[in-house]
Structure 1
Amino acid sequence: MFIRILGSAAGGGFPQWNCNCPMCTGVRTGSINARVRTQSSIAVSHDRCDWVLFNASPDILTQIQQCGVLQPARQLRDTGIQSIVLMDAQIDHTTGLLMLREHRQALSIWCTAAVREDLSEGNPLFRVLDHYSGIDWHELTTDGNVCQIPGAASVTFTALSLTSNAPPYSPHRDKPVDGDTIGMMMSDTVSGRSVFYAPGLGEMETHVWEAMQSADVVLIDGTMWTDDEMIQRGASNKTARSMGHLPQSGSGGMLEWLDKLPESTRKILIHINNTNPILDEDSEERSILDDHGVEVAHDGLELEI
């Protein structure tokens, strides 16, 4: 199984277009050691030819251009993207679907019924796409069902319900229902190895923790360093947890949980907010992650599992 990190930042990317926080200013001016990042998305394949796209960010066209294997050029109109999995209905994970409207067949979309509802009613992207390529919807359930998704023939996929938060336009906002946000266990039937992927995780539940412990690689929510990061930066009055993200530091934070995983587990943070000091590779916070054996995903990183 191959996993390509197309985008590693949270919504807005890094730097965020209208943000002048120390991190965004620093990467623009070159005064900090940091990489520019597009909004969170990955692609999964068994042969580096056909791919399953996870989330379609607003940066999808740039990401496709920067990842040559997504365009195999086998015919006049072609793409390596065979299926698209949506982990939630957030704008930064779905807006890119509009950029794929020229597809010659209906877009093969895999998501939960809750996400389909949000993208048909609250933010009717699916109804808009019906005027272009159309949607071929496949329901993902969180009942432990193992499925295969076209684009990664040797990989099995199991969706897990996560406690996070639905988008602001969703009728489920602050009233979560099953399927608003999912994690995904991906297992390679050839190598026998597995990955747990969850770019948005607000609470460590028993079934999630069990999945993380069984995975060889954990690709997990790294949105914010502290719970009050946005408040301290003056960027928002919301905490990380209220937005559905477990912060890395502090009691019960992501780093505390990652420390409990087996030493053999590869631990990688993704979906990094532009305010998060771990984006500065010379920061104290980044040094702490290094000491704990935790990596920070960057655009273009490829994993072979």
Structure 2
Amino acid sequence: MRIHILGSAAGGGFPQWNCNYKNSKGVREGTLHAKPRTQSSIAVSTDNEHWVLFNTSPDIRAQLLSFPDIQPARTLRDTGISAIIFVDSQIDHTTGLLMLREGMPLNVYCTDMVYQDLTTGFPIFNMLTHWNGGVNRHTVPIDEQSFTIPEINHLRFTAIALSSKAPPYSPHRDQPHLGDNIGVYIEDLQTQKSVFYAPGLGAIEAHVLPYLQKTDCVLVDGTFWHEDELIHTGVATKRAREIGHLPQSGEDGMIAFLDTLSKPRKILIHINNTNPILIEDSAERAELTAHHIEVAEDGMDIIL
């Protein structure tokens, strides 16, 4: 199984276009040892020809152009994207679907809650019906029942419901439902290797723990270093957990939890532009390295 990181930043990317906090300003001016990043998305394949795309960020066009393997060029108009799985209905994970309209119909897998959001509050599924009928939507079960995808050989997928909030535009923003946000356990049935992908892992719940313990690679939420990072930097007024993200630092943070896992390779993704781990020579990045935790970057390949 090959996992290719198309984008590794949280919403807004890095640098964020309108942000002058020291991280975005420094990478923009070239004064920081840091790499620019596009918004979070990955692609997974076992044959390097048929790919499952996880999320479609607003940066999708640039991401696809930077990854020639996803364009097999078998016909005059072609794509290696066999299916798309949405882990939630957030703007930074779904807007790029509009940029793929020329390739419709595409197979899109999502939960009922995500489908509801994308046909009401942000009705992109409805809009896309005007391009070759739009998406072929497939339901993702949230009872931990596994499913497979045609053309994607040897991979099995299991969605695990995560506690979270629906996006601000959602009709049920203040009434969380199972399926608003999922993690996905991906198994390669040939190699018996697996990865757990959850860019919005805001809490370590009992039903999630077994997947994190048994997998070969965890690719999880790296949004914030501090619980009060947005407040401290002056860019917003909410804490990390209030908006569904588990910060890395602290006694009950992501680092402390990942230290309890002995088996998997540990990689953080969906990194906010305020997070000091983006600076490669920062003390925070050194602390991650000491704990054997990696930071995803655009173009990174993970082979399992």
- Structure 2: how far apart are the matches of 1:153 and 1:296? 29
Match of 2:144 in 1: 144
Match of 1:16 in 2: 16
Letter in 1 for 2:273: N
Letter in 2 for 1:120: T
1:229, distance to aligned residue in structure 2 (A)? 0.3
Q: How far does the alpha carbon of each residue in 1:19-61 deviate from its partner, in whole angstroms, 9 at most, with x for none? A: 0111001111111110010000000001111100000000000
Are 1:280 and 2:279 counterparts?
Answer: yes
- Structure 2: how far apart are the matches of 1:81 and 1:91? 20
Match runs of 1:14-93 below 5 Å: 14-93=14-93
Letter in 2 for 1:246: L
1:174, distance to aligned residue in structure 2 (A)? 3.2
Q: Runs of 5+ in structure 2 lacking a partner?
A: none
Identity %: 56
1:202, distance to aligned residue in structure 2 (A)? 1.3
**Number of positions where the alignment pairs a residue of Structure 1 with one of Structure 2:** 303
Are 1:246 and 2:230 counterparts?
Answer: no
- Structure 2: how far apart are the matches of 1:285 and 1:244? 21
Match of 2:173 in 1: 173
Match runs of 1:104-143 below 5 Å: 105-133=104-132, 134-143=134-143
- Structure 2: how far apart are the matches of 1:249 and 1:21? 20
Moved more, 22-31 or 148-157: 148-157
Q: How far does the alpha carbon of each residue in 1:190-248 deviate from its partner, in whole angstroms, 9 at most, with x for none? A: 11011000000111101111110010100000000011101111000011111111111
1:152, distance to aligned residue in structure 2 (A)? 2.5
1:303, distance to aligned residue in structure 2 (A)? 0.9
Q: Would you say the 8 A contact 1:44–1:152 is kept in 2? A: no
- Structure 2: how far apart are the matches of 1:14 and 1:144? 34
- Structure 2: how far apart are the matches of 1:31 and 1:144? 46
- Structure 2: how far apart are the matches of 1:140 and 1:251? 34
Q: Runs of 5+ in structure 1 lacking a partner?
A: none
Aligned partner of residue 246 in structure 2, secondary structure:
coil
Q: Would you say the 8 A contact 1:52–1:151 is kept in 2? A: no
Q: Would you say the 8 A contact 1:52–1:150 is kept in 2? A: no
1:251, distance to aligned residue in structure 2 (A)? 2.4
- Structure 1: how far apart are the matches of 2:274 and 2:2? 30
TM-score computed with the length of structure 2 as normaliser: 0.98
Q: Would you say the 8 A contact 1:8–1:297 is kept in 2? A: yes
- Structure 2: how far apart are the matches of 1:275 and 1:146? 36
Match of 1:101 in 2: 101
Letter in 2 for 1:295: E
- Structure 2: how far apart are the matches of 1:119 and 1:227? 30
Q: How far does the alpha carbon of each residue in 1:63-89 deviate from its partner, in whole angstroms, 9 at most, with x for none? A: 000000011111100000010000000
How large is the RMSD of aligned CA atoms in angstroms? 0.8
- Structure 2: how far apart are the matches of 1:122 and 1:101? 20
- Structure 1: how far apart are the matches of 2:292 and 2:39? 24
TM-score computed with the length of structure 1 as normaliser: 0.98
Following TM superposition, where does structure 1 have runs of at least 4 consecutive aligned residues deviating by more than 4 angstroms?
none
Match runs of 1:256-295 below 5 Å: 256-262=256-262, 264-295=263-294
Q: How far does the alpha carbon of each residue in 1:76-114 deviate from its partner, in whole angstroms, 9 at most, with x for none? A: 0000001000000000000000000011x4120000000
Match runs of 1:170-249 below 5 Å: 170-249=170-249
